């Protein structure tokens, strides 16, 4: 079976020559006004479906991430527990280090810590925190990562269960954030999308651009390239026997791409569970991506893909 998409078909072997890492699958739960019982049920359902990581996210209209992940850990046994991702502009690094240690202790070393710049301007306005520029938000992310690494390695600072700290996931698409992630994080997450003012929203990158982004991250990682994990945030999963019939369901994510480019993009999964499983295996070969994260609306559909891969 062939998945077209320009540079997807090229051999990236020289840059993607690391041994194949085992697949991992994560889901980000995003429910608003979620009761305790509802949250517990969602977490347990994610575990039943085979997800390896159950995550909360951070937005001001959603439940707070730290208590959410502690409850997720209490409700489940096998999955790791993630925050995908914290807005570092909202957190004092010293206080954040304290919270990270506390949560990792309470979830018995299952925490994965996602860190990002924040991108929703109205949330900054709501909290009274200056939105700044993309550059200033990356500055804050870089400072926070450095301070967390310093504090959590300090012999006099309280220690997390995981040493020297829980694995950090840093995601982005531009050069500066990907370089920062590749040089510091245990997990590099490809957002696979960027803001386009003509559309007024984020739109997904085509396959050839994603090949370049993956190669850029590996070069930036240098000697760490084979030691870190590569993640992608999936935008949509559509289970169907007719891939082209489902294009209208995902076209809003890619108004600038043609049909073949959409079908070839690694950030959308369209087809039968077996077809999508094959696409994910190809993505691992081409981009080095072994860790796939989906959002809650795709949890059930992507669960069928996980079943097909195990």
Question: pLDDT tens digits, residue range 45-70?
Answer: 999 999 999 999 999 999 999 999 99
Average pLDDT over residues 21-32: 94
Asked if 114 contacts 26 with a C-beta cutoff of 8 angstroms, the reply is no
Total-model pTM: 0.90
pLDDT tens per residue across span 103-121: 999 999 999 999 999 988 9
The residues that bridge with 172 in the sheet, in sequence order, are 190
pLDDT: which is higher, 47 or 18: 47
Contacts of 298 (CB under 8 A, 6+ apart): 27, 234, 236, 237
Average pLDDT over residues 71-96: 96
Q: In the structure, what pLDDT confidence band is assigned to residue 19 with cuts at 50, 70 and 90?
A: low
Q: What is the pLDDT of residue 3?
A: 29
Average pLDDT over residues 260-289: 96
* DSSP character string of 130-197: ----HHHHHHHHHHHHHHHHHHHH-TTS---SSSSSSPEEEEESSHHHHHHHHHH-SEEEE--EEEET
Structure-token match 């991702």, residue found:
85
Given the DSSP bridges, would you call strands 193-196 and 291-295 parallel, antiparallel or unpaired? unpaired
Average pLDDT over residues 171-200: 91
Q: What is the pLDDT of residue 194?
A: 83
C-alpha to C-alpha distance for 290 and 26, rounded to whole angstroms: 11
């Amino acid at each position: 079976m062939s998945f077209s998409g320009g540079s997807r078909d090229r051999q990236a072997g020289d840059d993607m020559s690391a041994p194949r890492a085992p697949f991992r699958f994560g889901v980000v739960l995003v429910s608003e006004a979620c009761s305790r019982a509802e949250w517990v049920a969602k977490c347990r359902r994610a575990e039943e479906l085979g997800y390896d990581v159950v995550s909360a996210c951070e937005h001001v209209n959603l439940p707070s991430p730290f208590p959410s992940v502690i409850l997720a850990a209490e409700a489940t046994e096998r999955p790791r527990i993630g925050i995908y991702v914290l807005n570092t502009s909202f957190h004092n690094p010293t206080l954040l280090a304290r919270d990270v240690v506390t949560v990792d202790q309470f979830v018995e070393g299952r925490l994965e810590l996602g860190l990002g710049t924040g991108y929703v301007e109205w949330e900054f306005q709501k909290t009274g925190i200056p939105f700044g520029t993309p550059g200033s938000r990356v500055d804050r992310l870089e400072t926070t990562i450095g301070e967390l690494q310093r504090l959590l390695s300090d012999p006099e600072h309280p220690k997390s269960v995981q040493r020297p700290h829980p694995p950090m996931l840093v995601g982005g698409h531009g050069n500066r954030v990907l370089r920062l992630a590749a040089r510091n994080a245990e997990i590099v997450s490809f957002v696979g999308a960027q803001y386009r003012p003509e559309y007024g929203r984020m739109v997904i990158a085509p396959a050839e651009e994603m090949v370049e982004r993956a190669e850029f991250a590996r070069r930036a990682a240098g000697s760490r390239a084979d030691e870190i994990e590569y993640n992608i945030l999936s935008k949509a999963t559509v289970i169907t026997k007719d891939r082209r019939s489902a294009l209208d369901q995902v076209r809003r994510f890619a108004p600038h791409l043609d049909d073949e480019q959409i079908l070839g993009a690694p950030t959308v999964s369209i087809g039968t569970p077996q077809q999508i499983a094959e696409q994910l295996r190809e993505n691992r070969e081409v981009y080095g991506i072994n860790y796939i994260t989906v959002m809650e609306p795709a949890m059930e559909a992507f669960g069928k893909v996980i079943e097909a891969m195990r």
